[in-house]
Chains A and B, each alone.
Chain A
Amino acid sequence: MAKFKLFSEESNRSPLSRLWKKFKANHPALVGLWIFIALTLLALFAPLISPYSINQQHANALLLPPSWHDAGDVRFILGTDDLGRDILSRLMNGATFTFGLSIIAALITTALGVIIGSLAGMSKGIRSSFFNHLLDITLSIPSLLLAIIIIAILGPGLLNTVWAIILALLPQYVHSIRNLVVEELSKDYISAFRLDGASKWKILVRGVFPNIYEHIVVIFTMALSTAILDIAALGFLKLGAQPPTTEWGAILAENLGLIYLAPWTVGLPGVLLFIAVLSTNLVGDGLRQVLKDRKAD
């Protein structure tokens, strides 16, 4: 017999809970979310839970392969590098730098992007034109080049890298957020709001933002994946994190010479990078798909 319904009302859920329900049904996105949360926790608690410290060298265990190899040792699950440092601990601490700092960079970029993008979107006329063309120019400088120049000005180092990445990512996301705001402003309910006498601030905060914050979250995930890749790239080019900071890209660059002897020292940080970016992209994609489905309903 079919489900017995006592009341004839259908379910009346809020948009947010409908979003979550649909998101849960998308299994890859859910797995991505779990991995994302796991990595965040790792980034927060790595120093507490990693087996060894990052600089602890074991002279008698140099270049050990991962433990599933014959020559490996279960004490060092992912093997050791040429100085005898445990790779697992280094990678776990690296999560704090690569992943944690990327999240901070992406958050700041998104926040700044929202502020500047809303300003640009709300302005009209010559001021708006001028603003927009200025943004377009910053879009035409490749982001890595911009980051490199900023590092050239500020000098290498992890913190400067974060600043450089924030400034290099900013143009693209200001552009996206500005487009979102402009699109929302052209809708009829905003006109109705304005005719009711709402001030610009109220229109922005009460009218536009509640309708675009979900898209801003999607933009945040995209910013995050780009930030992770950029921080790692800068670390790889030795322009970002300097040793002994265990940022994943820097680890890759350090062990480049060992590529023939000990390929796992080069492969494993890359795998972690891949998983981090993949999980972020899965979450972002899932969210975007779910937003589209919810709109179609």
Chain B
Amino acid sequence: MREYLFRRISLLLFMLLTLTAFTFSLNYLFPGDVLTNLSGQVNSSYAQSQVLADKYQLEENIIVQYGAFLGRIVDGDWGYSLSSGQPVFEHILLLFPATIELCVYALVVAIIFGIPSGVIAAVFHKRWPDRVINSLTLMGFSIPIFWLALLLIMVFCLGLGLFPMSGRIGLLYEIEPYSHFILVDIIAQGFPYGGLAFIDALKHLALPTIVLAMYPTTVLIRFTRDSMLNVLEQNYIKTARAKGLNRRQLILHHALRNALLPVIKQIGLQFSTLLTLAMITEVIFSWPGVGRWLIESIYQRDYPAIQGGLLAVSVFVIFANMFAEFSHTVLNPISRNQAHGKI
């Protein structure tokens, strides 16, 4: 176990190093002045640029520059945004929780709807629940996310007026940012109109969450169904059946545990796609998160911001992935006993 942890952590460090190297190289790949890209300050006078050149050690060779870059990252100096002039790190701290909140809720919805549907589809294989779930899943899988968002907006906002179209909470409510997770903030504050604010926030959350959850739900349904079908073919299920267990006990006690293990691993792999889709969703619903900020940065050619965003998002995905894989290993008795932590 210790060896496994050791290998995993060294792998993590390796990945983080490579990531930062890639981000560092972007300074040179992006069009424009390297110094501007690094620092975020444009049109600096000669004296200023000398000071900056010293700070970023542009005179030295590339390894030293990279070292300085790493040092700055750990310090928290991620440069200044070209468009707003604020430190990039502060932007990210402000906006990232909103994105994470959206992603987490969407993932929770996907798990709640996806896994039971997959199990039902596998248990009623080749009968009508399976067919219905399969067709719905295929359609949900094929729909472009931005079109789905627009359709839902057309029907629910413009047509029926049930849900608001953009933002996180109505302009009426002024919530003190505490943890930057809006539902937690509302509860924590004990605001006099807390109940209404909560419902308002939920209404704002509803459409983006549904849109974002569509793809992961379909992927989870398919994957759970495949995994479950695979497990139901195995010998031990037939043995348990002959032992006299009825269907419900069989599935709950034996099949589910074995089928869900690969699904946990798959959930980890979904994070990358989830963030991609979150970016598009945030743009459409004007959700104040990292995704929308990144896309706006690219419209405005705000290179330091893009670098910072890339770093933050990728680090998050790496950690989420690692966490999922770790839980998979912990829960899976077979891999727990492998002599070398085969990664």
Chain A contacts to B: CB under 8 angstroms: 133-134, 136-137, 139-145, 148-149, 151-153, 155, 225, 229, 232-233, 236-239, 249, 252, 256, 259-260, 263, 266-267, 269-270, 273-274, 277-278, 280-282, 285
Q: In the complex the two chains form, is A142's CB within 8 Å of B147's CB? A: no
Residues of B within 8 A of A137 (CB): 15, 18-19, 318
B9 close to chain A: CB less than 8 A = no
Q: In the complex the two chains form, is B158's CB within 8 Å of A281's CB? A: no
Known: A145-B313, A274-B147, A282-B138. A152 touches B303 (CB 8 A): yes
B187 close to chain A: CB less than 8 A = no
Q: In the complex the two chains form, is B142's CB within 8 Å of A278's CB? A: yes
Residues of B within 8 A of A236 (CB): 146, 280
Output the nearest chain B residue to A260 by Cβ-Cβ distance. Answer: B158
Output the nearest chain A residue to B134 by Cβ-Cβ distance. Answer: A285
A144 to B141, CA, bound (A): 17
Q: In the complex the two chains form, is B272's CB within 8 Å of A143's CB? A: yes
Residues of B within 8 A of A152 (CB): 30, 298, 301, 303, 306
A-B residue pairs, 8 tightest by C-beta? A270-B147, A144-B276, A277-B142, A142-B276, A278-B142, A142-B275, A140-B317, A140-B318
A259 to B31, CA, bound (A): 36
Output the nearest chain A residue to B280 by Cβ-Cβ distance. Answer: A233
Output the nearest chain B residue to A230 by Cβ-Cβ distance. Answer: B276
Known: A153-B29, A237-B280. A141 touches B151 (CB 8 A): no
- Tell me what chain B mostly uses at the interface: helix, strand, loop, or mixed: helix
Q: How many residues of B contact A (CB 8 A)?
A: 46
Residues of A within 8 A of B153 (CB): 259
Residues of A within 8 A of B11 (CB): 133
Known: A140-B314, A143-B272. A149 touches B280 (CB 8 A): no
Output the nearest chain B residue to A150 by Cβ-Cβ distance. Answer: B29
B143 close to chain A: CB less than 8 A = yes
Instruction: Offer 12 A-B interface pairs, CB within 8 angstroms, sorted by A.
Output: A136-B15, A137-B15, A137-B318, A145-B313, A148-B306, A149-B26, A229-B145, A233-B146, A237-B295, A263-B154, A270-B151, A274-B147
A282 to B137, CA, bound (A): 11
Residues of A within 8 A of B139 (CB): 278
A278 to B144, CA, bound (A): 10
A141 to B306, CA, bound (A): 13
Known: A133-B15, A149-B310, A259-B154. A270 touches B144 (CB 8 A): yes
Output the nearest chain B residue to A153 by Cβ-Cβ distance. Answer: B29
A40 to B298, CA, bound (A): 33
A140 to B321, CA, bound (A): 8
